[in-house]
């Protein structure tokens, strides 16, 4: 999500802010990760979404308190810059950029799967559909075209309404023999699934990037967090429950990438399937557009304090850095071609869990809480770190090659960052070696 074009008279209302946060989370999240959650934790998938939602809620409170404390837009990058300095925040910023690129590839992968099914195409074409939509929105952003706030609100609440309808219809087809037993697998797999699907919640942080565009932000930002995350958590949990309760394990396994489209089929038939397919296509497309815009803005912010090569952002069209946008789009297209859904979801969640652990720790260090409340950011930090460890261990046990690829990507990023910090003239002049 991105904000509507605002002026001093046109600010984001509480409804707009809630819509932005919900749109950022639902944008492509549930459509992309539902099948992975069910595959990992079975009938307990709804518990996994609930655990991830609790962790997101605690982190969301830390985000809102830090934003109000600094009274400035910027999100996690700003928090760390203020508390630990530009060099540390620059490193965090590089990982954030990579996380957004992987998230964009997740949305494009999911778009291709749903759009291909909607059009009746061979799955071999899904990658081209996903890559094509990223390229299309890259051009749109370079042309300076922006969606209006009204169109964003309509899209967000329309797709939320469709999900609620699907959940309600799904309840009518839940069968006891499919919904129970709840704990088909060990509790450790349920917690690992919570870590895996965490990327479905990361979008709430977009609110902090647009803090200055919110009407009465000191009042409405916390309210938007308090409303949006519980609402999305409830929707995710309900959708997960009716999916495992109304579809057989064989159906879910066979349609893992687009399983949500078939929840409404027993009662609504082909109409229900098409309805969800259309919602998924528009939702993931909007999420790609919003992520492109947000990642470009973040890159520009990082470059301004000399933490990113300036050539990537110096040429701009309509406030969008041309070369960085092309690079980010190209990387996302390549990733969704060469990676599978599990790999992309896993890496995206690992990045954002790591970033959110830093945010919670920042809230603790900056004393945003007092008394017994200080246990909240510590719990958020510990929860995020534990989730990272469990997800990494699961990848090691189940798919060590994927973990090796992820470790390799991280290592390359760390080496590139070290080279930049050591040799880039403007960085050395400003901060020293």
Position 115 in a domain: yes
Q: How many CB atoms lie within 10 A of CB 122?
A: 7
More confident residue, 94 or 143: 94
153 lies in some domain: yes
The pLDDT tens digits of the residues spanning 269-282 come to 888 889 889 888 98
Q: 43 in a domain, yes or no?
A: yes
Q: Which two tokens stand for residue 419?
A: 């080279």
Q: DSSP 3-state assignment of 318?
A: coil
Pick from 330, 350, 23: nearest CA to 161: 23
pTM above 0.85, yes or no: yes
Q: Does 3 fall in a domain?
A: no
Residue 303 domain boundaries: 14-390
Instruction: Give every CB contact of residue 91 below 8 A, 6+ residues apart in sequence.
Output: 417
Would 373 be classed as within a structural domain?
Answer: yes
Least Cα distance to 342 among 195, 202, 235 occurs for 195
- Highest mean pLDDT of the ranges 39-43, 170-174, 319-323: 39-43
**Peptide bond before residue 199 is cis, with ω within 30 degrees of 0:** no
Q: pLDDT at residue 163 above 70?
A: yes
Please tell me whether residue 336 adopts helix, strand or coil conformation: helix
Residue 164 has pLDDT above 70, yes or no: yes
Cα gap 386→373, rounded to integer Å: 20
Nearest residue to 60 via CA among 220, 224, 192, 217 = 224
Inter-residue contact 163 to 30 (CB < 8 Å) = yes
Query: Does residue 190 lie in a domain region?
Result: yes
Q: Number of structural domains, the chain?
A: 1
Tokens of 417: 């960052």
Least confident of 11-25, 42-56, 144-158, 289-303: 144-158
CA-CA-CA-CA dihedral for 395, 396, 399, 400, to nearest 10: 130
pLDDT tens digits, residue range 377-415?
Answer: 999 999 999 999 999 998 898 889 888 988 999 999 999
Confidence category of residue 6, pLDDT binned at 50, 70, 90: very low
Residue 416 counted as domain residue: no
Kindly report the CATH number assigned to the domain that includes residue 222. Answer: 1.20.1740.10
pLDDT digits (tens, 9 = 90+) for 67-114: 999 998 888 988 998 898 888 888 999 999 999 999 999 999 999 999
Identify the top-confidence range among 139-153, 192-206, 248-262: 192-206
432 is a domain residue = no
């Amino acid at each position: 999500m991105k904000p509507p074009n605002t002026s001093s008279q046109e600010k984001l209302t509480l409804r707009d802010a809630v819509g932005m946060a919900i749109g950022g989370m639902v944008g492509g999240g549930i459509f992309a990760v539902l099948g992975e959650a069910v595959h990992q934790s079975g009938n307990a998938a709804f518990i996994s979404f609930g655990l991830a939602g609790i962790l997101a809620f605690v982190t969301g409170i830390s985000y809102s308190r830090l934003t109000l404390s600094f009274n400035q837009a910027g999100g996690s990058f700003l928090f760390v810059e203020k508390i630990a300095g530009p060099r540390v925040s620059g490193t965090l910023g590089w990982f954030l950029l990579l996380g957004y690129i992987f998230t964009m590839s997740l949305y494009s992968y999911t778009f291709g799967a749903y759009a291909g099914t909607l059009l009746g195409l061979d799955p071999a074409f899904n990658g081209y559909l996903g890559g094509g939509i990223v390229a299309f929105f890259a051009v749109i952003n370079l042309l300076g075209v922006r969606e209006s706030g009204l169109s964003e609100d309509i899209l967000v609440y329309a797709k939320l309404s469709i999900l609620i309808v699907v959940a309600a219809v799904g309840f009518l087809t839940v069968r006891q023999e499919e919904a129970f037993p709840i704990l088909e697998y060990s509790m450790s797999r349920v917690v690992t699934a919570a870590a895996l699907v965490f990327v479905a919640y990361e979008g709430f942080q977009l609110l902090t990037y647009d803090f200055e565009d919110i009407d009465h932000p000191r009042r409405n930002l916390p309210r938007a967090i308090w409303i949006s995350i519980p609402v999305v958590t409830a929707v995710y949990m309900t959708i997960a429950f009716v999916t495992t309760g109304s579809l057989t394990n064989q159906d879910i396994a066979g349609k893992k990438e687009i399983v949500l489209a078939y929840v409404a089929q027993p009662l609504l038939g082909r109409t229900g399937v098409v309805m969800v397919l259309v919602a998924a296509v528009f939702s993931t497309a909007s999420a790609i557009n919003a992520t492109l815009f947000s990642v470009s803005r973040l890159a520009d912010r990082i470059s301004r304090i000399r933490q990113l090569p300036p050539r990537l952002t110096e040429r701009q069209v309509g406030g969008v850095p041309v070369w960085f946008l092309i690079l980010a789009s190209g990387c996302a297209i390549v990733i969704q071609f060469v990676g599978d859904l599990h790999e992309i979801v896993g890496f995206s969640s690992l990045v954002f869990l790591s970033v959110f652990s830093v945010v919670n720790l920042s809230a603790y260090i900056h004393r945003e809480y007092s008394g017994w409340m200080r246990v909240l950011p510590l719990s958020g930090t510990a929860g995020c770190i534990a989730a990272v460890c469990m997800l990494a261990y699961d990848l090691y046990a189940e798919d060590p090659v994927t973990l090796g690829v992820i470790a390799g990507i991280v290592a390359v990023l760390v080496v590139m960052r070290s080279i930049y910090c050591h040799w880039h003239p403007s960085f050395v002049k400003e901060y020293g070696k």
